[in-house]
Amino acid sequence: MNHATPEDLAMSRGQRIEACRRSLSLLLIHHGANPPDGAARAAVARLRGQIAAGATAVRRDEPPPLLAPAAVARRRERAAKVVAARPSRRKAPDVDMEHLLSIAAAVMLRDGLNENELFSHRRNPALVRARHEIMYRAAKETKLSLPQIGRFLERDHSSVVHGIARHAERLGLDRPRPPGGVA
């Protein structure tokens, strides 16, 4: 039997959980830890069940669950459509973007990575080295700006500057551009 009132339906899940907690605490204050009558015991059990069910669904201290790869791909496609529809101050040359894609594909193939790993925010050393190599090669082999390279990898331009410097340092190479990013 559903005891939901119109006020209950207007509340969010978190608000309903808080209301159940308040009701439970009032019942326990009034009847004690072991209520003597069956109706009060049933109400306590029902409220505890609702709190447990809601608490597993809504935890304030836990991050949201990870998305399935298909959902990530759909979001990425939608984002690409939105970005493509938005006018840009300086459009990246198609040839350079294609070359950047081929650089990323070659690095992913060589290192055995997939797109979800490369574009994630994880800092696994192998992923970081792969991203840094892509940043370095893109800066050296294309005319893309640092913000354009960063947008491709979902990073800030300052992360691109850092990645280029670390890759050059790690392999003893010269930086392809001065630190300011001006060629």
97 and 48 belong to one structural domain: no
Quote the domain boundaries for residue 134: 90-171
Q: Please check whether residue 128 is in contact with residue 120, taking contact to mean a CB–CB distance below 8 angstroms.
A: no
CATH number at residue 137: 1.10.1750.10
In a domain, 36, yes or no: yes
Whether pLDDT at 147 is above 80: yes
Cα distance between residue 84 and residue 168, in whole Å: 32
In a domain, 74, yes or no: no
pLDDT of residue 171: 92
Please compute the mean of the pLDDT values over residues 150-174 and round it to a whole number: 93
User: Is the backbone of residue 172 left (phi > 0), alpha (psi -120 to 50) or beta?
Assistant: left
Count: domains in the chain: 2
102 and 51 belong to one structural domain: no
Q: Which amino acid is at 80?
A: A
108 and 163 belong to one structural domain: yes
Q: Please check whether residue 75 is in contact with residue 115, taking contact to mean a CB–CB distance below 8 angstroms.
A: no
Please compute the mean of the pLDDT values over residues 75-79 and round it to a whole number: 74
In a domain, 40, yes or no: yes
pLDDT of residue 76: 74
In a domain, 25, yes or no: yes
Please compute the mean of the pLDDT values over residues 138-162 and round it to a whole number: 92
pLDDT in tens, 97-146: 889 989 999 998 898 888 888 888 889 999 999 999 999 999 999 989 99
In a domain, 138, yes or no: yes
